[in-house]
Structure 1
Amino acid sequence: MKKVFGTKEIVITAALLAICIISQFFKNLSVFITGPVINACLIIAVLSAGLASGIILSIITPVTAYIIAASPVMMAVPGIIPLIMAGNAVLVLATHFLLKKDLTDGKGLRDIKSYLKAIVCALLKGVFMGLTIALWLLPTFISEESPLIKKMPVFQTTFSTTQFITACIGFVYAFIIWAALSRFLRKSDLK
């Protein structure tokens, strides 16, 4: 009987978490640095270590982002953290159910359908976060008197369109990494 979450999965998850944490130190420079790296790690986690690994990273990375470089909106509306976790989980679940089989069988990177499915996965994350954070949470919990209200359009774009774009870039990174990593895993018989 195969272990669902054994040593290999723990090591891969820990290594990807370390990469995520390092990238979060650059969060204040640009979301286009950290976002794609986090998304790529979530995707690689699902492909190489399974759904549990991706879910674990989905939950931990928003917490480490808050600890390392909390944005003013995260500090003003801490309820955003569980919704970011859920948005990450949407990406992980979509990747698991729509893409994993295609990519782990070795043919996926040569099939245009895989790239279209990746766009769908990224879109699902962007739409989920757009609806829950940009259109509901932020307008509900940032009052008209708050100095953050002036930045509401920026926050709303960050938690909708930008999430879609960074997830798409994350898929580009993940596909490049997966092309090499899947060969290594096959040769090492770790897959």
Structure 2
Amino acid sequence: MKTIKQQKRKEIKMNDKLKYLTRTAMLLALTVIFQFIGRFIPLGPNSNFIVGPLVNACLIISAGLVGLFSGTVISVLAPYGAILTGATLPLPLAPFVALGNFVLVLAFYIFRKKKVAGIIAGSIAKFAVIYGSLLYIIPFFKLLPQNKAMALAGAAFGWPQLVTALIGGIIAIPVVHRLEKHV
């Protein structure tokens, strides 16, 4: 027979798991909403400079407030959410974008006490993973035609990934700073 104290501990663990799941789901939903709304911004490919920072902010906030696993889940699902909401992301590139998102989240999580260092390191790592995959991995395995991979490397998946990750970090830092004391 369980004591009242054991039952309370079990309830607290369940409440913590529920909070974790709820926060992850909310941030994932917010990420998909930003991606969906981005399709209606009449800026063409330049809408990435609005949607990208918001999505990157969600990734960083999830790592900062919920944890590494939460950030990883959102990192992996975000590129597929973008495809489902009509982004021009080629499907063969989605795993590399997911990996780029993950290294952004991982760097921020590792450097969470020094948030700016985490943002800078993560942004550079994300850019390197995505750009490097377009230059080397995708052509090597012939996942996309060479000319398409190079066009993507020069457009939305080149330097804009670095810029949008940095801007996303600038958005996320005050949110994380403000909310980490209350969650």
- Say whether the fold is shared (TM-score over 0.5): yes
1:21/1:117 Cα in 2 relative to 1: closer, same or farther (>3 Å)?
Answer: closer
How far did residue 45 of structure 1 move? 0.6
Counterpart residue identity of residue 90, structure 1: V
Q: Secondary structure at the match of 1:70?
A: coil
Alpha-carbon separation, structure 2, partners of 1:116 and 1:46? 14
**Alignment-mate amino acid for residue 64 of structure 1:** G
Q: CA deviation at 1:152?
A: 5.3
1:20 match: 31
Aligned to 2:57: 40
Task: Identify the residue that residue 85 of structure 2 maps to in structure 1.
Answer: 68
Give identity over the alignment, percent: 29
Matches within 5 A, 1:1-191: 6-28=17-39, 29=41, 30-71=47-88, 74=90, 78-97=91-110, 99-100=111-112, 102=113, 108=114, 114-137=115-138, 140-143=142-145, 149=147, 153-157=150-154, 158-185=156-183
* SS, match of residue 174 in structure 1: helix
CA contact (8 A) 1:135 1:156 kept: no
Q: Please report how far the alpha carbon of residue 135 of structure 1 lies from its aligned counterpart in structure 2 after TM superposition.
A: 4.2
The one-letter code matched in structure 2 to 1:59 is V
Take 2:174 and 2:102, find their aligned partners in 1: how far apart are those partners?
22
Partner SS state of residue 184, structure 1: coil
What CA distance in whole angstroms lies between the structure 1 residues aligned with 2:137 and 2:95? 14
Measured in 1, the distance between the counterparts of 2:165 and 2:32 equals 17
Gaps of 5+ in 1: 103-107, 109-113, 186-191
SS at match of 1:25: helix
Cα RMSD of the aligned pairs, angstroms, is 2.4
Contact 1:36 1:169 in 2 (8 A): yes
Where 1:6 maps in the other structure, the secondary structure is helix
Deviation, 1:180, is 1.7
How far is the alpha carbon of 1:119 from its aligned partner? 0.9
Count matched residues. 164
Deviant stretches of 4+, over 4 Å: 1-5, 151-154
